[in-house]
Amino acid sequence: MKTFFSEDHRKHFPQAELSGGQFVTPFERPSRVEYVLAELKARGMGDIVAPGAADMAPIEAICDAGYLAFLQSAFAEWKADGNAGELIAGCITPRGMRTDRIPTNIDGKAGYYCHAAETAITAGTWEAALSSAASAQAAQAEVTAGARAAFALCRPPGHHATADQYGGYCFINNAAMAAQMFAAAGQRTTVLDIDFHHGNGTQNIFYDREDVLFASLHGDPADAYPYFLGHADERGTGAGEGANANYPMKSGTAWDEWGAALDDAIGKIRAHGTEALVVSLGVDAYKDDPISFFRLVSDDFTRAGEKIAALGLPTLFVMEGGYAIEAVGINTVNVLAGFEG
Ligand code: Q9C
Ligand code: ZN
């Protein structure tokens, strides 16, 4: 299958992530995709194509207009306000205070439009996020044109971004945008999220929708970021009741339980009458991932790809997380190769 990938991802390279009370080099760093590219080439996985410029309409279809305006000018406003470093939100939308008034000051605006302080905004963040969305758009078009599958090698990732909040290293929800593109064309769509972290943004965007099923395998939010969403009793609302399926799992979860959860999710994808599949492809369920607690081994990712392929659906893979840098390439391409059989 073809890979869609933009070098502009490099424009987003924050120097700082708040982790354990210290600033560390972000886990979500440009070199992650170098390992994926090298593995794609080494294993002859198909052409790697640069996308054109992002089309704003599909982004605007899933994002709040004020949020997009904020992202575009945030870093310039931050600098203009006299801040020396990268933009890090210090005061995040608090419980019991007002959220109906958006602050004018950039420090306050960042808090309004952010849900997790580990994620910094830099001078090139907006352009990189757009280029990441452009890769997902181009890959979605490839599937719409009749390809069985395509891979969007997106960076920065997207599944934690809601319509109006960034966080968890994510700014624009690439998978949700692509799913909405399929849905807008009248196709019943599923987003299957196998990243270690719950895809709170994707769930939130489609929670009241029956035509888009969201199914996610992830670390139990009692113990894992994003902490405030991803429980098993979140089943959708209104018309979307039953079109949301969460599989939270405990520390130490390995293939037996994870693969069984994947089988169950696949049953729901079939029952939903899905016509187009978007896979939020994170590989942080890997045993050596530095910020996650599952125990998948590299061969398990191949098996996951095989199971996904058995659905027989047009499939768009969208890169999300994975931080065991050297293994990210192998594990990601294992899913794709397992899918291709
Ligand atoms: N001390 C994705 O995988 N918490 N995002 C980091 C590190 C945020 C993960 C904690 C993890 C976000 C796309
Ligand atoms: Zn993740």
**Closest residue (by CA) to atom 3 of ligand 1?**
321
For 150, left (φ over 0), alpha (ψ -120 to 50), or beta? Answer: beta
**Closest residue (by CA) to atom 9 of ligand 1?**
168
pLDDT tens-digit profile of 307-331?
A: 999 999 999 999 999 999 999 999 9
The pLDDT of residue 194: 99
pLDDT tens-digit profile of 270-290?
A: 999 999 999 999 999 999 999
pLDDT tens-digit profile of 19-73?
A: 999 999 999 999 999 999 999 999 999 999 999 999 999 999 999 999 999 999 9
Are the C-beta atoms of 299 and 306 separated by less than 8 Å? no
DSSP class per residue in 171-214: SS-HHHHHHHHHHHTT--EEEEE-SSS--HHHHHHHTT-SSEEE
As a whole number of angstroms, the distance between CA 228 and CA 261 comes to 21
317 has which bridge partners?
A: 151, 279
Are the C-beta atoms of 318 and 178 separated by less than 8 Å? yes
**For residue 94, pLDDT beyond 90:** no
SS3 218: strand
**For residue 93, pLDDT beyond 90:** no
Query: Which residue has tokens 């995040």?
Result: 92
The atom number, within ligand 1, closest to the CA of 159 reads: 13
**Closest residue (by CA) to atom 1 of ligand 1?**
19
Angle at 158 between CA 296 and CA 108, to 5 degrees: 125
Tell me, in angstroms, the distance from the centre of ligand 1 to residue 169's CA: 7
Q: Which two tokens stand for residue 22?
A: 């210290």
**How many of the other CB atoms lie within 10 Å of CB of 96?**
4
**How many of the other CB atoms lie within 10 Å of CB of 285?**
29
Can you tell me the ipTM of this complex?
0.98
Tell me, in angstroms, the distance from the centre of ligand 1 to residue 144's CA: 31
pLDDT tens-digit profile of 140-160?
A: 999 999 999 999 999 999 999
Say yes or no: CB of residue 72 within 6 Å of ligand 1: no
Angle at 321 between CA 66 and CA 219, to 5 degrees: 100
Domains and CATH numbers, the chain: 2-14+24-52+123-340 (3.40.800.20)
As a whole number of angstroms, the distance between CA 329 and CA 34 comes to 8
**For residue 225, pLDDT beyond 90:** yes
Say yes or no: CB of residue 282 within 6 Å of ligand 1: yes
Tell me which amino acid residue 194 is.
I
Query: Which residue has tokens 């990189």?
Result: 128
